[in-house]
Amino acid sequence: MGQGSGQVRGGPVPDALPAAVRPAGPSAHAAIDLEALLADAVRAPGGCSVRFLPELERLVESLNSQARLTTGGAAAVVEGLRTALTRPVQLRMLRSAVPAIAHIEPAPVFITGLPGSGAGLLHNLLAEHPAVDAPTLWELAEPVARAAGPREFRALIGRGRAAAESGSQSLHGRPAGLLRTATRPGGCSWLLGNAFQSVAFALRWRVPGYADGLAAGSMTEAYHFHREQLQAICHRIPGPAPLLRDPFHAGRLGDLFDVYPSARVIVVHHDPVRTVTATAGISHALRGAGSDGGDPRETGREWTGRIERQLVASEVARRNLPGGRILDVRHADLVGAPTSEVRRVLAFMGVEQVPVVEGNVAELAARTMRAANRSVPFRPAEFGISRGALAGRFAFYRERYGL
């Protein structure tokens, strides 16, 4: 599907709209035709899968009724959903051709921390160590593609670069996504998104109904598919225990440990005023690229409530987990003494720090923080966020982690 030069509020409109897109009109937003989407996906090589059809149905219903999509935004959604529909089939074909993939037993280390917490920075600092395997954005965006040589790898990296750039344009000049490139560590929300079960959808689109339903149900099956895709990634480029990151794993620790019983989790904490503001800011910017935007204060209220519920769910889940499986990291410690904090995290992972890596860690941390200081921060007032109100509302969390 080629990209044309037509431009409307909410992003470019393709030369030829997918059949699954119902264009916006004078009095209606664009919408997605689920039957047409499925019919189109069936025509892909190998066809498509309905393994997660109920979850797709809930997502599309919320997109159509709540997201206020532009025509360009709906076309972008359809392209992503169509790709996700083909992933289970592609994975099944790959596992049939390479049976050894099903016998790989990944024991990942997960990093989780809300946007603005420093989780992305920590992920990148740890990836400086040669004994740490942190799958890159392109690997996670293309989890089941086979690459037989340099040409195929370059093509996959090129598609990853396009994915990285599409998410960065809306955040240009802001202190978010500063380390988002195709060849740097990526987020594993790509893998959950292929099961249509990721809070990342709510970050990019206004889909509160979908997000509320997701929070109320089990994501165990989505994490099983996450694991199946991770097996394929680990087979394509073998390495030690993979290091993965998603800002919203903390709210699903029970499901995560059900599927990955030997996993270890690193949770990065920061002042909720900062993380709620950053999440609302990123969400409002991303949504504006494919919808009519909406009220930033509404976005602030939505994420204040959603983050509060996630933090509570995380604390409840942690009561039932075995000791020694979770490491807490404070943002202040990470940015105040990055080399010593990275050394502590590596010890938790069972990896010994080496002097040359400490120099790389210090240089990358300093460079990233300089870039963040040059950017325009999101302000709580932009999103109707009151520092005083949040201080009281999140007092349990601030006291628990000394924030």
Query: CA–CA separation, 341 vs 332, rounded Å?
Result: 10
Q: What is the pLDDT along the chain (403 residues), one digit of tens a residue?
A: 333 333 334 456 666 789 999 998 887 899 999 999 999 999 988 888 999 999 999 999 999 999 999 999 999 999 999 999 999 999 999 999 999 999 999 999 999 999 999 999 999 999 999 999 999 999 999 999 877 677 877 887 887 787 777 766 777 778 777 788 888 999 999 999 999 999 999 999 999 999 999 999 999 999 999 999 999 999 988 888 999 999 999 999 999 999 999 999 999 999 999 999 999 999 999 999 999 878 999 999 999 999 999 999 999 999 999 889 999 999 999 999 999 999 999 999 999 888 888 999 999 999 999 988 888 889 999 999 999 999 899 999 999 999 9
Give the C-alpha separation, 180 to 158, whole Å.
14
The full 3-state SS of the chain, as one line of letters, equals CCCCCCEECCEECCCCCCCCEECCECCECCEECHHHHHHHHHCCCCCCCCCCHHHHHHHHHHHHHHCCECHHHHHHHHHHHHHHHHHHHHHHHHHHHCHHHHHCCCCCEEEECCCCCCHHHHHHHHCCCCCCECCEHHHHHCCCCCCCCHHHHHHHHHHHHHHHHHHHHHHCCCCCCCCCCCCCECCCHHHHHCCCCCCHHHHHCCCHHHHHHHHHCCCHHHHHHHHHHHHHHHHHCCCCCEEEECCCHHHHHHHHHHHCCCCEEEEEECCHHHHHHHHHHHHHHHHHCCECCCCHHHHHHHHHHHHHHHHHHHHHHHCCCCCCCEEEEEHHHHHHCHHHHHHHHHHHHCCCCCHHHHHHHHHHHHHHHHHHHHCCCCCHHHHCCCHHHHHHHCHHHHHHHCC
Between strands 243-245 and 109-112, the pairing is parallel
pTM (two decimals): 0.92
Decide the pairing of beta strands 21-22 and 31-32. Answer: antiparallel
| CA angle at 88 for the pair 87 and 89, rounded to the nearest 5° | 90
| pLDDT score recorded for residue 159 | 79
Q: How far, in Å, CA of 392 to CA of 388, rounded?
A: 7
Could you give the CA distance from residue 287 to residue 275 in angstroms, rounded to a whole number?
A: 18
* pLDDT at residue 148 in the model: 65
State residue 139's pLDDT score: 92
pLDDT of residue 21: 95
Write the CA distances from 267 to 111, 138, 350, integer angstroms: 6, 24, 17
For residues 187 and 245, the answer to whether their CB atoms sit within 8 Å is yes
Residue 4 has a pLDDT of 34
C-alpha angle 307/312/315, rounded to 5°? Answer: 125
Distance CA 397, CA 65 (A): 34
Region of 177 on the Ramachandran plot (φ > 0 left; ψ -120 to 50 alpha; else beta): left
